[in-house]
Amino acid sequence: MNELLINLNDTYSKYIQIYHFIRSLIEDGQLEENTALPSIRQLAKQLGVSRNTTLTAYEQLLAEGYIRSEPKKGYYVEPVEESITGVDRKVSSAELHIPDHPRPLIDFRIGSVDGQAFPLQKWRKCTNTIMLQPYIYTYGHYQGEPELRMQIAQYLLQSRGIRTSMDQLIIGSGTQQLLLHLSILLKINGYDSLAVEDPGYDGARTLFHMQGLQTEPVQVTSRGIDISELKRCKSRIAYVTPSHQFPTGAVLPAAERYQLLKWAEERQGYIIEDDYDSEFRYRHQPIPALASLQQGAQVIYLGTFSKGFLPSIRLSYMILPPVLMEQYARMFTFVEQSASVIHQQTMAYFMKQGYWSSHVRKMRAIYRRKMQVLVNALQESFGKQIRIIGSHSGLYILVELQQSGHENELIRQALHHGVQVYPTSRYYSLLKVDRKPTIQLGFSNLTIEQIGVGVQLLKEAWGRV
């Protein structure tokens, strides 16, 4: 193809208009599979824009799998998979416009994934294969399906450096369900309290309290959990998120990691390592897990498919040290597995076919781009009025406003302008009166243009606070 006739205007960023125009042509079938696209230089010249503009549009299409790049040849259209929603995803010019009233609701929530990039056809193909198998008519193994545990063990060795066997792995219907079983084990072994990060994951803290376990808050610094403060705690169990501290995004350095392992050994306790989104680091390779640093370490490891794949399939996993695993086998042999056998077997087959690894690589590129767009838009709109926290990994960032005010007022003003944002105060165990208002923004399920619109609306909302 020599030309793409695109009518650009000044209502929105030009690279977004180019991106949407080409994406729409591909989704509508007007640009067929293997069609050659104009080069970056040709398209820039045709449209009268900079090469960076067309390059950015192509990079987004490339990241989302709409086109492919062939060295020394150019860009070509890729076959388009069906949307997870099964509806047309074309965005009209009216949707790109920001109306005065009523305003669109842009939801910066966390805990969701990019539905547009979900590999629906591959997942359906794997599911159809599994549905022909006789084991779908049974309850399944109490630890989880052996096929999935074997695939997870292989994946953790390659991606996180963890040497484990399928016999030490337990599958559950979500991290909280696994923590529920773990809490029962800990109480039986005489543990009545845990040290938790402050701020930290409120879902885990609430569950521990429901099980009658006390929690000791430990301050989080820019380097992660404060080891010196942890040593002053009475607890012999610590629940931590060392590779991407929730919610600050801090990464615990190697020296502190070894101190943490030593602390658990000296206390004759355990570290609960929640490695909830280790796949999504954008500047460096994933950091080795605590569970990989020392053979026989007193580490209970937690991972999930909710962030990297799909939260609705409810699949998480846990590695228990041998002593706890023996106790788990005695106690939970007769407790039915809560995770779907069909989903477990489908995920195992999905991983065996190599689809999981390629999906993670694709999503890492998509989320990296979204993170860049969000951070750049916030910096351009607010400058030194804000401080952005945690912009190198994960599926969300924190925005600390350098002004007086309260999170609730900022959230109310944002919602009045059509944007849903979220507080961070709930992640703190202890009230900090001198803390600046800090807002959490997730971006995983937002499109590039929704991110841009959302930041523009936040600028309008918070400019009046």
Domains and CATH numbers, the chain: 1-80 (1.10.10.10), 137-356 (3.40.640.10)
Per-residue confidence band for 310, with pLDDT thresholds at 50, 70 and 90: confident
Average of per-residue pLDDT across 254-271: 93
CA angle 358, 452, 17 (to 5 degrees): 80
Q: Which residues lie below 8 Å from residue 204, measured CB to CB, with a gap of 6+?
A: 175, 176, 179, 196, 239, 274
CA–CA dist 463, 382 (Å, integer): 9
Per-residue confidence band for 219, with pLDDT thresholds at 50, 70 and 90: very high
| pLDDT number for residue 93 | 38
DSSP conformational letter for 83: P
Per-residue confidence band for 95, with pLDDT thresholds at 50, 70 and 90: very low
CA–CA dist 84, 82 (Å, integer): 6
Q: Which amino acid is at 139?
A: Y
CA–CA dist 233, 117 (Å, integer): 45
Q: Give the whole-number percent of the chain exceeding pLDDT 70.
A: 91
Per-residue confidence band for 234, with pLDDT thresholds at 50, 70 and 90: very high
| pLDDT number for residue 1 | 58
Per-residue confidence band for 90, with pLDDT thresholds at 50, 70 and 90: very low
CA–CA dist 421, 193 (Å, integer): 33
The pair phi, psi for residue 237, each rounded to 5°, is -125, 140
Q: Which residues lie below 8 Å from residue 456, measured CB to CB, with a gap of 6+?
A: 98, 377, 381
Q: Which residues lie below 8 Å from residue 176, measured CB to CB, with a gap of 6+?
A: 203, 204, 207
Other CB atoms within 10 Å distance of the CB of residue 340: 17
| pLDDT number for residue 87 | 40
Cβ burial, residue 143 (10 Å; 0-12/13-18/19+): buried
Other CB atoms within 10 Å distance of the CB of residue 260: 24
| End-to-end CA, the chain | 50
Q: Which amino acid is at 230?
A: L
What pTM does this model have? 0.76
Over residues 338-349, the pLDDT tens digits come to 999 999 999 999
CA angle 307, 59, 17 (to 5 degrees): 100
Average of per-residue pLDDT across 77-89: 55
Which residue is listed with tokens 């045709």?
A: 46
Over residues 199-209, the pLDDT tens digits come to 999 999 999 99
| pLDDT number for residue 92 | 41
Per-residue confidence band for 2, with pLDDT thresholds at 50, 70 and 90: low
CA–CA dist 304, 312 (Å, integer): 12
| pLDDT number for residue 432 | 67
| pLDDT number for residue 86 | 41
| pLDDT number for residue 102 | 41
| pLDDT number for residue 382 | 92
| pLDDT number for residue 16 | 77
Residue 362 CA neighbour count, 13 Å, CB half = 20
Q: Which amino acid is at 33?
A: E
**In degrees to the nearest 10, what's the CA dihedral of 86, 91, 96, 98?**
-40
Has residue 287 got a pLDDT over 80?
no
Has residue 226 got a pLDDT over 90?
yes
* DSSP-based three-state secondary structure for 147: helix
